[in-house]
Amino acid sequence: VKNYPEKRSAALMVLHALQEEFGHISLEAEQWAAARLNLQPINIHELVTFYPMLREHDPGKTVVRVCRTLSCALAGSARLHRHICQRLGLEADAPGLQRTKDGRFGVEYAECLASCGTGPVMMCNDDFYENISNDGADEILEKYDE
């Protein structure tokens, strides 16, 4: 916080650090950040709810993101997303992040993952995978299920 000219400038960095430590940003963490940065809690909550990579709830141990922008959609990302959801017992058409009951996986669509020529593309936590088939997704998920 001391590296920023104004405390409020550090808000996103503080939120990223909280999420990295706890996996999500709870209401208590929002209040802590607001107090630390001399902001109102609503100012922090607005950031958490605006940015899609910030999470209010535990997304699961392994977060699977499937790109859904045009090039990946044309390469079959909807089919891939449906397959992953079916394999994990989740509803493919539900909006937002879906989490398995045991908390092992969270699955969601993502906007462009910046590999438009190699779709469909998915991420598992911070690991990036390209040209993913249903069988390839199964192998990847098995690796994270250990």
Q: For the chain, which residues make up each domain, given as ranges?
A: 7-50, 62-144
Confirm whether pTM is higher than 0.95: no
- Residue 118 CA from chain centroid, whole number: 20
Alpha carbons 81 and 75: distance in angstroms, whole number:
12
Confidence at residue 21, expressed as pLDDT on a 0 to 100 scale: 93
User: Can you spell out the DSSP letters for 66-93?
Assistant: EE-SHHHHHTTHHHHHHHHHHHHT--TT
Confidence at residue 69, expressed as pLDDT on a 0 to 100 scale: 94
| Tokens representing residue 43 in the block | 């100012």
Classified by CATH at the fold level, domain 62-144 comes out as Glutaredoxin (3.40.30)
Confidence at residue 17, expressed as pLDDT on a 0 to 100 scale: 95
Q: How far is CA 57 from CA 48, 49, 88, 135, in A?
A: 11, 11, 19, 30
Confidence at residue 1, expressed as pLDDT on a 0 to 100 scale: 65
Confidence at residue 37, expressed as pLDDT on a 0 to 100 scale: 96
Q: What is the DSSP letter of 56?
A: S
Confidence at residue 7, expressed as pLDDT on a 0 to 100 scale: 82
Averaged pLDDT in 10-residue chunks for the chain of 146 residues: 77 95 95 96 95 88 95 97 97 92 95 93 96 97 92
Confidence at residue 52, expressed as pLDDT on a 0 to 100 scale: 77
Residue with tokens 């998915």: 122
